[in-house]
Amino acid sequence: MRASVRTAAAAATALALLLTGCSGDGGGTDTNGKIELRFQSLAWQKESVDANKQLVKEWNATHPDIQVEYVQGSWDSVHDQLLTSFEGDEAPDVIHDASDDLADFAYGGYLADLRVLLPDRLTADIPEQSWRTATFGDGVYGVPFLQEPRVLIANTKILKASGVRIPTPANPWSWDEFRQVTKELTGKGEGKATYGVAWPLKEPVSVTLNLGLSSGGQLFHRGADGKVTIRLDEGDEVVPGTIRDQVNTDHSAARTALGMGGSDTLPGLFGGRYAMVPLGFSYRQQVVEQAPEGFDWTVLPAPAGSDGLAQGVSPQTLSVAESSPHKKAAVQFIDFLLRPPNMVRLAEGDWMLPTGTAALADPALHTTENGWATGAALAKGLRSAPAQSVRGYPEWKDKVATPALQEYYSGAIGRDELNRRLVDDGNRVLARYQR
């Protein structure tokens, strides 16, 4: 995260400068006069795949001179697959990915700078804080279009029987209150669960950093020379300290969940073993599809800190390959996909939130059914994930932060050792990328 927070005016000015920059276009037509584009989508749920394929079909029906081929990709292998396709000059024209995967491709020259290619409508519709997630250096290398906050999915029966205060986006729990509530929900008898919360932390880094924004955590600090260093400040300790205390001191969080993925915790939630599970907003789909008949559940906002309900996110993005000879046509297709009604269809298909303000205002995304209204109310607090533009972050995450946080949450190491490993070892990693 940047060392200082810009004022709203400065941020708006910076965005205006970014979006009026220069970018080349290798546009042209094939020998038959028809442009053919390849669109690699990472949609995987049936509803999402169907929505994407239907939009491609609608585009092709109304644009005979620019035809789009739908190509199915996979989240599991997208980074390596894209790298191979870039190096082999076989990249798709339109690329679906996530903003936290774009940095190496953007700095490596594989993605087109979209600043002068983007239409004014799309530029104005997506908020500046979302554009930051796809901005690297002086360029914009993707269009952020879907995002999800982390929320608490809770067993309504247990909450009601316990008598705890039910939080809302307007009046959320603080981190201290959240810790106290999980203690009250833990135990035996009516209104109790075996554990008040289960933290699925098989991949602990993004959860820790993104929720840490609520308490002013930054961890990554960019100096005047542009170089990034790691520093663990008071705000960075709130979220990991709370989780560690819930697991090791209060025993209100399930230790066994620390090695789980999000889906692994759902049977325990359905069975009353856990009263709440912090999960990405899109997990609601799995709850709807997998919960036993009669299971009553609700969506609650994550706890708030000194910076309110701020959270870091890495939105899904649409980019254009620098090698594409049809950049203008590719952006025209992206603009079609992200028209407000179409963005709503994509959001509903993925059970996520659109970044566009017009799409986000759609009444379908503000219904109380399945927690849509709670998620929509959290959208204004979503920010660029702290480490998104930090070169060397993947190595720091995999080799330093993941094992250190796992040991800290389990109680194997304390705060001082966590600080040494995250900061001292981490800065040595980042230094290699910033020489």
Do the domain assignments include residue 3? no
Shared domain check, 200 and 133: no
Which pLDDT score, from 0 to 100, does residue 45 have? 86
Over residues 362-388, the mean pLDDT reads 95
Which pLDDT score, from 0 to 100, does residue 12 have? 42
* Weakest-pLDDT range from 57-66, 129-138, 279-288: 129-138
- Give the confidence band of 388 by pLDDT, cuts at 50, 70, 90: confident
pLDDT digits (tens, 9 = 90+) for 223-273: 998 899 999 999 999 999 999 999 999 999 999 999 999 999 999 999 999
Which pLDDT score, from 0 to 100, does residue 28 have? 44
Which pLDDT score, from 0 to 100, does residue 33 have? 80
pLDDT at 386 over 90: no
Shared domain check, 236 and 176: yes
pLDDT digits (tens, 9 = 90+) for 69-84: 999 999 989 999 999 9
SS (H, E, C) the chain: CECCCCCHHHHHHHHHHHCCCCCCCCCCCCCCCCEEEEEEECCCCHHHHHHHHHHHHHHHHHCCCEEEEEEECCCCCHHHHHHHHHHCCCCCCEEEEEHHHCHHHHHCCCECCCCCCCCHHHHHHCCHHHHHCCEECCEECCEEEEECCEEEEEEHHHHHHHCCCCCCCCCCCEHHHHHHHHHHHECCCCCCECEEECCCCCCHHHHHHHHHHHHCCCCEEECCCCCEEECCCHHHHHHHHHHHHHHHCCCCECHHHHHCCHHHHHHHHHCCCEEEEEEEHHHHHHHHHHCCCCCCEEEEECCEECCECCEEECCEEEEEECCCCCHHHHHHHHHHHCCHHHHHHHHHHHCCEECCHHHHCCHHHCCCHHHHHHHHHHHHHEEECCCCCCCCHHHHHHHHHHHHHHHHHHCCCCHHHHHHHHHHHHHHHHHHHCC
Shared domain check, 88 and 233: no
Which pLDDT score, from 0 to 100, does residue 390 have? 86
- Give the confidence band of 374 by pLDDT, cuts at 50, 70, 90: very high
Which pLDDT score, from 0 to 100, does residue 23 have? 39
Shared domain check, 412 and 270: yes
Shared domain check, 179 and 68: no
The domain boundary, picked from 369, 384, 399, lies at: 384
Do the domain assignments include residue 5? no
Higher per-residue confidence, 405 vs 23: 405
Do the domain assignments include residue 7? no
Shared domain check, 237 and 119: no
Do the domain assignments include residue 160? yes
Do the domain assignments include residue 347? yes
Shared domain check, 224 and 181: yes
pLDDT at 6 over 50: no
Shared domain check, 291 and 166: yes
Do the domain assignments include residue 167? yes
Shared domain check, 227 and 334: no
- Give the confidence band of 42 by pLDDT, cuts at 50, 70, 90: very high
Residue 185's CATH number: 3.40.190.10
Over residues 183-190, the mean pLDDT reads 90
Domain that holds residue 326: 12-148+313-384
Do the domain assignments include residue 6? no
Task: Tally the domains of the chain.
Answer: 2
Shared domain check, 162 and 56: no
Which pLDDT score, from 0 to 100, does residue 31 have? 52
Shared domain check, 144 and 154: no
On average, the pLDDT of the chain sits at 92
Do the domain assignments include residue 234? yes
Shared domain check, 171 and 95: no
Which pLDDT score, from 0 to 100, does residue 5 have? 32
